[in-house]
Structure 1
Amino acid sequence: MTASIRLSNLITRSLSSRAAAHRAMAKSALFADSSASTRLKRYNHHIEKAERLEASALDNAKRSAGGAV
């Protein structure tokens, strides 16, 4: 049981780190040397990806806690 909890924590941290990276990419997309529509598309893409990763991290945390979170 302990090993599975550690693994789920690692997965959750990894997903959260990836989400943070996508949020950073979204912010930098706003300042890129591209057209406004391209910057907005890139921003939205990265924000949506970050939201999906955060949702996955939350689901993993709930499963590892037995649904108590």
Structure 2
Amino acid sequence: MKHDPALNPSALRQRAAAHRAMALAALRADSSLSVRLKRYNAAMARARALEAQEVAL
């Protein structure tokens, strides 16, 4: 049985870190406050979901 490389804990950690970086970049973007907050929250939600998936492995 082959393992999905996307389920590699190291890869999940890297993707979560990338989403955290995107979240911080969203806060600094040249957009309205509501758009920046929406993008930040979406990226942080993805990062948290990836971390939860990593813990479940």
Classify the TM-score, shorter chain.
Answer: 0.7 to 0.9
Partner amino acid for 1:15? L
Runs of 4+ in 1 over 3 A off after TM superposition: none
What is the aligned residue count? Answer: 54
Q: Which of 18, 25, 29 matches 2:15?
A: 18
Q: Which of 43, 49, 52 matches 2:49?
A: 52
2:35 equivalent to 1:38: yes
- Deviations, residues 24-54 of structure 1 (Å, cap 9, x unaligned): 0000000000000000000000000000000
TM (norm. structure 2) is 0.87
Identity of aligned residues (%): 52
Segments of 5+ residues of structure 2 without an aligned counterpart are none
Say what the alpha-carbon RMSD is for the aligned residues: 1.8
Higher alpha-carbon Rg: 1
Distance in 1 separating the partners of 2:29 and 2:42: 14
